[in-house]
Structure 1
């Protein structure tokens, strides 16, 4: 929001902002990025913003052609996302971490601790903003990624809030789960869950919340502190809490199970557990493990878990069948503490500083690997994103490359940018600590 002392000064500031945006359009068209970034904040709730549009708004929304997966992206028609998309999420090297942004068709959903903005990526307009009903807790970059249902009917995000006291009622902390209609960004429903007051006494920190997945007719959400957690299944149709699981921090959801760790009342060691996503009832429980057990998604039916075994003290790193907890495969050597995101097709892409490995998301089998210093002269590029069988990466500070996720082979030359998030209509590109949505071009 621009704040000025008079109508005249407001007009001057608006003229300046228009000139700066025009400059950014011109520079994007020739592949440069020296015009700076918009600093005005999002609009009032539900009021469209005219900022950051590089498309022809006057002539209506630009037409977009989907490419699945994209082979290239174009600066023509690029638009800037709100500054909240990267605030507090870039490091000194200019890399971005833990984006709280989701894509669906030509819309982006940008979450912060106190709001979620719906952005039309054909025009750059913020078409709607939803906020929690109570006072949001946490910093601006405490927002976690919104989640779009598989059928594209709803977008869900979470807010940790403080409810004020009234009369003899003490203030309380709650989790607000907010569902919006895609593209319009309008709130469809809100469901609240109370967070036990004892958590604050034991942890003294603001709880963290996350939308984990959709399964069994529910949206699965989890909220946790260092020593406490609860997972809930909320009926998508009725918006009511169907079940809760105390002490369970769920990390991933498949059609078969919601998988996470049981905090065991904060006294650990952790135990892996799989819950029925429809009812919240326990389906399986692994043997107790020492220390902190990590869990991440590994495709439509597998989960990856790693930690230290209680009996032997040996480290384990395995892919489990989510519905049974049975081991499908051991994760190959060299991938300790290396995340292996699912490309939403068939492949897990494991990328480290000097290593790139692809695993089959059904069998866990290693498909190929690239390491620095290979005999054939190839090296591991710096991966920025993977989606639907394509890996996008930087080969150097000035060059980008795309690889086939199943074979590891370089795709035909022509990739000019390395996006950090991709779908069939656009790739989000980080330039000067700002996210720009580049339309797909082929």
Structure 2
């Protein structure tokens, strides 16, 4: 694929009409299917228990990637697919709620076709936004173009609100490429005014675009910055650092103004990587870097809280590699973070000090947390049994949830089970909430 630093152009920005019968899948590029409704179900906010039997498996064409490509909203499961569409489905019945198809031809990879790299859509209010890598077909003698399409859907109707196609350069003439040439495309954040999108493959090709939600035009683009987090009016991410005396270029953590991309702050990290642990938590950047865990103020880059941790590495998740720390936002006020030996809860109104925390000892051992939702932490104890903690106090809750969900809402819990011989691949097993 050509360099992401190539100039971009808005090819399309349009509102498209629905096609097909309600709930039907569209087979027309750029088409949409209308939203459908499901029968009322019992709601528990938050769930304290789930049914003893699984009721479904996440029903998407590539189910092993569900945890990367899907997010559980309040009423449905919303997914982007490497096959070139974004959809919502009822996780229990598998029924399609709505589906939008990209106008691009999905990227092909030898030997597996239609294998793009995408991430779950981001929802803000009643708008879900996803992004795809693909190809704009050749027109006349003009060559095909590699591109990124940003797609915004009105979740109340299931119809496309708007889309924008960003050209990033001429596509390979044979139309095929290797996995190393495909950009990982991701919607980093959606605010009332802006959509932040990043794309990367390899350290030398990292770009960020910020689109205006009203005009659907690019407000700014930075080809030396990879966005990781949006907090308030600041975009936080990484860029090449200042070369050292030997000419080696490390990493700089940076904050850029959401409105115009101007530099707000820079922290030189040398050769240290940073893992961003709670990307959905507002106005607090939870990070792990070499031998350190910290919570940063996105406006200034200063640490509101930090501790030294000799096991921390900040390498993120790659082929079998994991962070030492993991954080879980309950979508209200609390983020819980844990490493191998301790767990702590932070109130986002003042995350300078944990509101609770404990280390493994003879009285208590932190569970392996799997999810957080509306004041409850779900996880597994040392006997691999499901447990729950009060997210605001860290105290054990008396109920037995029956499962340890990886995603949860008022109606449903979805358990992540490993795919045999898969690398970072899981299946999503669906359970109904019962109390």
Same fold (TM over 0.5): yes
Shift of 1:102: 1.7
Q: Counterpart of 2:75?
A: 106
Q: 2:388 aligns with which of 385, 390, 402?
A: 402
Mean Cα deviation higher: 295-304 or 216-225: 295-304
Mean Cα deviation higher: 110-119 or 123-132: 123-132
Q: Is the radius of gyration larger for structure 1 or structure 2?
A: 1
Residue 279 (structure 1) aligned with residue 295 (structure 2): no
Q: How does 1:249-398 map to 2 (within 5 A)?
A: 249-263=226-240, 268-287=249-268, 289-297=270-278, 299-307=281-289, 315-331=291-307, 333=309, 336=312, 337-352=324-339, 355-361=342-348, 362-372=350-360, 374-376=361-363, 378-395=364-381
Instruction: Structure 2: give runs of 5+ residues left out of the alignment.
Output: 1-23, 313-323, 419-425
Shift of 1:405: 1.6
Q: Distance in 2 between matches of 1:195 and 1:333?
A: 41
> What SS does structure 2 have at the residue aligned with 1:286?
strand
Which is richer in helix?
Answer: 1
Residue 428 (structure 1) aligned with residue 414 (structure 2): yes
Q: Distance in 1 between matches of 2:384 and 2:269?
A: 48
Q: Counterpart of 2:100?
A: 130
Query: Cα deviation per residue 1:98-138 (whole Å; 9 max; x = unaligned)?
Result: 43212222111122212222103464301333222121126
Q: Counterpart of 1:147?
A: 122
Change (3 A) 1:341 1:126: same
Q: Distance in 2 between matches of 1:194 and 1:265?
A: 30
Query: Cα deviation per residue 1:10-59 (whole Å; 9 max; x = unaligned)?
Result: xxxxxxxxxxxxxxxxxxxxxxxxxxxxxxxx95545699xxxxxxx9xx
Change (3 A) 1:112 1:401: same
Q: Distance in 2 between matches of 1:431 and 1:319?
A: 30
CA contact (8 A) 2:44 2:411 kept: yes
Q: Counterpart of 2:189?
A: 213
Aligned pair count reads: 373
Q: Distance in 1 between matches of 2:401 and 2:269?
A: 47
Change (3 A) 1:78 1:182: farther
Shift of 1:185: 3.1
Question: TM-score normalized by structure 2?
Answer: 0.75
Mean Cα deviation higher: 393-402 or 220-229: 393-402
Instruction: Structure 1: give runs of 5+ residues left out of the alignment.
Output: 1-41, 50-56, 90-97, 309-314
Question: TM-score normalized by structure 1?
Answer: 0.73
CA contact (8 A) 1:216 1:255 kept: no
Shift of 1:211: 0.6
Q: Which has the higher contact order (CA 8 A, sep 6+)?
A: 2
Change (3 A) 1:292 1:214: same
CA contact (8 A) 1:339 1:350 kept: yes
Q: 1:416 aligns with which of 402, 409, 418?
A: 402
Shift of 1:147: 0.5
CA contact (8 A) 1:301 1:321 kept: yes
Change (3 A) 1:216 1:387: same
Q: Counterpart of 1:16?
A: none
